[in-house]
Structure 1
Amino acid sequence: MAEREKTTADVVPPLLERHWTSLAERRFPIGSPRRHSTPLCFLVVAVKQATVEITTDAISRRPASPRASVIQPQNKKSWPMAFRRALKRTVVVGAGAVATVFGLSHLIEYRKTQARLAHVAAEAELQVPCADELPSRQAQLTALKTTEEFDVLVVGGGATGAGCALDAVTRNLKTALVERSDFSSGTSSRSTKLIHGGVRYLQKAIMQLDYEQYMMVKEALHERANLLEIAPHLSAPLPIMLPVYKWWQLPYYWAGIKMYDLVAGIQCLKSSYVLSKTKALELFPMLKKDKLVGAIVYYDGQHNDARMNLAIALTAARHGAAIANYTEVVHLLKTKDPQTGKEKVCGAHCRDVITGQEFDVKAKCVINATGPFTDSLRKMDNQETSNICQPSAGVHIVIPGYYSPDNMGLLDPATSDGRVIFFLPWEKMTIAGTTDTPTNVTAHPIPGEDDINFILREVRNYLSPDVEVRRGDVLAAWSGIRPLVTDPNSKDTQSICRNHIVSISDSGLVTIAGGKWTTYRSMAEETLDAAIKAHGLSAEPCKTVGLMLEGAKGWTPTLYIRLVQDYGLENEVAQHLASTYGGKAYDVAKMAEVTGQRWPIVGKRLVSEFPYIESEVLYAIKEYACTAIDVLARRTRLGFLNVQAADEALPRIVQIMGKELDWSQERKTAELEAAKKFLYHEMGYRSRSEQLTRTSEINLDYQEVVRYKKRFHKFDKESKGFITTVDVQRVLDSINVHIDENALHEILNEVDLNKNGQIEIDEFLQ
């Protein structure tokens, strides 16, 4: 009996040690930097496995004879002693486990703190001063015209181009950037709004044993952590649910998502977890219940892409870069190298698109960061060069926010044609996409009806049959062009590069193409490293890791409360300003006009349903907005959220900008027409109108239908298929009837059955 006591009690420490060691060695080989920082999950697994083996071992050691297990009276005193020893060892092991977990958690926090301190130190080392006031666009153009020679000229104002400008100027290089349209007017403002490493890329890396894909995911996850830190007002972690409808998929997807967490390491936003069917439906009530097994939730980042792009560009401007939107490159400047006799790129001949004035910008190095238009600039350099860009169109749609929870997205990992669809909350709406279709390069991509319907079909597959997503629910739609590229240095010219490429032509033109939004910073760093080496520039090391972007300083999660208290803004408006402008929200609030009401005191809305206020239009001009489209689509995101609301706000936006910029009546009219054309074609207004003009089933006799249709078309002068407050107000004004705008909105909201801000023909008849 004494021998049995000893065996059962003393087996605990060796088993724990053996299992701890085996698990640690399997995950972290000897020499691994994280060998001594095993996460809590592995500690729990170790303890659980040890417990199982202890139980199994103890059972295997039981005497074969039932009589041997009977406690004899003379051995009663030994049991309390054995119990005390077992209890003591359990306490020791438990205390050790708790201490280990506590220590590991503090180690992780310590490492994160050290990373933040390193970022702060890197920012403090910057030799480039940061201006308190942004230079005006005119001042920036003057700098471009009068500077004798820049070290670097970046062509392209998207995320990558702005990132290159910021990287260059913080290395103490004299930097210029030109963009032929507005900052983020192309692909960078038309993304899925995610800051992610790419779960599907990791899946390919594992299934195909592709090290390049693995490193691409690892780099993206590192950049994700940095981007969330340097612009906390514009970005945040977002839980994304992956619903599972087959039992065998649960361990498969769980293993893949856990690997995603593992690759992120200490930069993992939050650990993924499994949900039961009941819990999944509780968190996502709209989910299809039939055959649902459960769900897996993982975390990625989400951001306001156009505002993030602008923040990068404005940060570069504050550090001394001369940046100008609506400034296009007409042709490249070249000079002959006296040593080799070869022509070298030495700048660009540019044109101010707004005034038509042309001028030269000379630079030691020119960087081509024009996204889908990469080949256009490469052919300016050399007409004989072959194309490397293989453009692909990705369409997204926006539907009302009630189709998804406020704080959780949805991932469809395998659509009917093998693509991936995201279904995400964004700006209190729901965004769904994307598609992947070969296309031609254009500055004005248009979302196709087939792509819109494809997304709607895929969304319906994952939502409950009770939730009917209709075509009329699509409030906006857009198409963005992905600049997929082939490596010009590769022997296989037909293979698409899954990452980005940096190439340097014989004349010295540096091209950065491809890549992802999330990795813009590391792409810029690699590009500048290559440019500095190729052109022999004298520069400091990269300092953009941890460099806070425009608005990040002064932002706190409770900033909006101060805005409400200090300025008398509505709570919703204050939250919007804080999450859009960060610490600069105070400047926007100071520019807001008094409403003349008891509450809110300041902050007149552009449209009643959205928190955008009139002072944002004035502040947008300070942020280099030159057209009404800039304000609708990129300074505010109204055009991307609801094209009808954007159309309603348009006249007031033009009025405010016209007064501030002293526009003529002709210019105001041109701005209205251009913005309406943009909304009609590029933001899905046209396809929406065509869809809504189709006759719905109506339970009225023929004469009634004809009579009411005539009345409807008196309001719908433009044959859009729906009417809005603007249409009603126009008719009322024509008969000298005046109704308060808020009252009119309330009246129409009662008729607006699907709550999309528009009265459609079937709603009107009902």
Structure 2
Amino acid sequence: MKHDNCSPSSTGLLDPSTSDGRVIFFLPWLNMTLAGTTDSPCSITDKPAPAEADVDFILKEIRGYLTPDISVRRGDVMSAWAGLRPLVRDPSKKDTASLARNHIIEVSPSGLVTIAETVDKVIELNNLQPQRQCVTTNIMLEGGQEYDNLMYIRLVQDFGLDLEVAKHLASTYGDKACDVARLARLTGRRYPVVGRRLHQEFPYIEAEVIYAVREYACTAVDFISRRTRLAFLNTYAAEEALPKIIDLMTKELKWNCKEKMKQQTEALEFINQQMGKQARKKAYQEAAPLNLTDEEKSAAMKCFVMVDKDCNGGISVNDLRRYFEESGEQVDEEVLHQLLDEVDLNKNGEIEMDEFLHIYNGIIGGLVGHNPVVSYLRHEMKPISPDRSGGGL
């Protein structure tokens, strides 16, 4: 999953003939670009995770379809996921060359014959005709009874929702969008009046969590992956929104502390493994040696020393807290620990100089497209040349 600058909002592309015969495609999806796909042998698991080799293959292939001025890098990939595709094998043959991608006839030891698409074939050969007209043609899906393409305008006018949020709710819930809007809390601002976002970059709002629970959502993973697609769109955004989501679900479902911690652990595991965040982190952990200019390295080191309040060669949670307080920034304690964990590659509880430079090197080289710590501190790390600074003595 990539940002939406790789494809038009209403046009996709598919090429069935890549360098090794696999299919490649670009598809616009929820203001992002979905790129894929590839097949690789794997072991059976109920938690399939994307392989870095497959991500690299897809990136290599799609670069050939874009203009030279657009550079697609590993850091541009916001999430990646995989699934298991079962292929039928003839049990009488031991080789894998007999794998079938359509269907086969299977005769079990008991004599039961299983033939895929049997009924369809019987209808075709005997020219069987339906005895009555289809009875489900005019049955609306949930939310479709009173839906129309301009429903989002009503949501803006009647509830004071943000335009982007209103369009999202209307297209997702249909005429049930009004039910979601009624659950939305005041923002405390003149506009939008209601609809607190779960993450500033996406139109999902807190009211959707409450609505989802009342529609039998029972886990945080269910909400970030199925009730919404946040984890599929951006793993960092999903992780940043997770504490708020769990708090809202806790109030609705009356979770105790143990269950709340369990939900967080399972959701983070899902984001890291099945949504590819861990593979992405591993990519820049195993990146090439530092390739920074003296100016870039100097700027990064000065920033590190500025945040290392204890001057002990490592940035701790206390260092981050003091830095943000002195900068006038209010950052939650849980977020501080998340920021530290994101850059603490050796997991010793602090960010060392080498780790800090490694992450910065990844951003410069395109392996890391977004990192919370560096995003907060990036303005401190940009050296300003004299001709752009106004000079001075």
Q: Structure 2 length as normaliser, TM-score?
A: 0.71
Counterpart residue number, 2:292: 698
Counterpart residue number, 1:616: 208
Counterpart residue number, 2:128: none
SS in 2 for 1:677: helix
Structure showing the higher strand proportion among its residues: 1
Aligned counterpart in structure 2 of residue 642 of structure 1, from 234, 240, 250: 234
Same amino acid, percent of matched pairs: 47
Aligned counterpart in structure 2 of residue 731 of structure 1, from 298, 301, 321: 321
| CA gap 1:510/1:400 in 2 versus in 1, 3 angstroms | farther
Is the aligned partner of 1:682 residue 2:285? no
1:600 positional shift: 0.8
The answer to whether the 8 A contact 1:400-1:756 is kept is no
The answer to whether the 8 A contact 2:146-2:175 is kept is yes
Structure 2 counterpart of 1:661, one-letter code: L
Aligned counterpart in structure 2 of residue 605 of structure 1, from 167, 192, 197: 197
Is the aligned partner of 1:478 residue 2:101? no
SS in 2 for 1:634: helix
SS in 2 for 1:436: coil
The answer to whether the 8 A contact 2:75-2:370 is kept is no
1:497 positional shift: 4.1
Counterpart residue number, 2:337: none
Can you give the 5+ residue segments of structure 2 that lack an aligned partner in the other structure?
124-131, 332-359, 383-393
1:667 positional shift: 1.2
Structure 2 counterpart of 1:700, one-letter code: D
Counterpart residue number, 1:572: 164
Counterpart residue number, 1:657: 249
Structure 2 counterpart of 1:555, one-letter code: Y
In 2, distance between residues paired with 1:510 and 1:573?
Answer: 53
The answer to whether the 8 A contact 1:645-1:757 is kept is no
Aligned counterpart in structure 2 of residue 406 of structure 1, from 9, 18, 31: 9
SS in 2 for 1:566: helix
In 2, distance between residues paired with 1:548 and 1:613?
Answer: 26
The answer to whether the 8 A contact 2:324-2:330 is kept is no
Structure 2 counterpart of 1:407, one-letter code: S
1:670 positional shift: 1.6
Q: Superposed, which structure 2 residues align to 1:525-564 within 5 Å?
A: 543=135, 547-564=139-156
1:599 positional shift: 0.8
In 1, distance between residues paired with 2:177 and 2:107?
Answer: 41
Structure 2 counterpart of 1:479, one-letter code: A
1:495 positional shift: 4.0
| CA gap 1:415/1:729 in 2 versus in 1, 3 angstroms | farther
Structure 2 counterpart of 1:621, one-letter code: V
| CA gap 1:711/1:688 in 2 versus in 1, 3 angstroms | farther
1:758 positional shift: 3.2
The answer to whether the 8 A contact 1:423-1:431 is kept is yes
The answer to whether the 8 A contact 1:413-1:420 is kept is yes
Is the aligned partner of 1:758 residue 2:371? yes
In 2, distance between residues paired with 1:433 and 1:661?
Answer: 37
In 2, distance between residues paired with 1:435 and 1:664?
Answer: 42
1:623 positional shift: 2.7
Structure 2 counterpart of 1:648, one-letter code: E
In 2, distance between residues paired with 1:606 and 1:728?
Answer: 27
Structure 1 segments, 4+ long, off by >3 Å, are: 486-490, 492-513, 540-548, 692-696, 701-714, 727-730, 732-741, 751-766
| CA gap 1:628/1:416 in 2 versus in 1, 3 angstroms | same
Q: Which moved more, 1:606-615 or 1:617-626?
A: 617-626
The answer to whether the 8 A contact 2:212-2:227 is kept is yes
Counterpart residue number, 1:583: 175
Q: Deviations over 1:711-745 (max 9, x none)?
A: 6799xxxx9xxxxxxx999736984865368xxxx
| CA gap 1:604/1:703 in 2 versus in 1, 3 angstroms | closer
User: Larger Cα Rg: Structure 1 or Structure 2?
Assistant: 1
1:666 positional shift: 1.4
Aligned counterpart in structure 1 of residue 56 of structure 2, from 453, 456, 481: 453
The answer to whether the 8 A contact 2:307-2:323 is kept is no
Q: Superposed, which structure 2 residues align to 1:35-434 within 5 Å?
A: 398-434=1-37
The answer to whether the 8 A contact 1:692-1:760 is kept is no
Counterpart residue number, 1:73: none
| CA gap 1:561/1:507 in 2 versus in 1, 3 angstroms | farther
Aligned residues: 330
Structure 1 counterpart of 2:57, one-letter code: F
Counterpart residue number, 1:390: none
Q: Structure 1 length as normaliser, TM-score?
A: 0.38
In 2, distance between residues paired with 1:757 and 1:660?
Answer: 33
SS in 1 for 2:2: strand
In 2, distance between residues paired with 1:589 and 1:640?
Answer: 24
SS in 2 for 1:555: coil
SS in 2 for 1:424: strand
The answer to whether the 8 A contact 2:88-2:103 is kept is yes
In 2, distance between residues paired with 1:681 and 1:495?
Answer: 32
Aligned counterpart in structure 2 of residue 437 of structure 1, from 36, 40, 44: 40
1:579 positional shift: 1.4
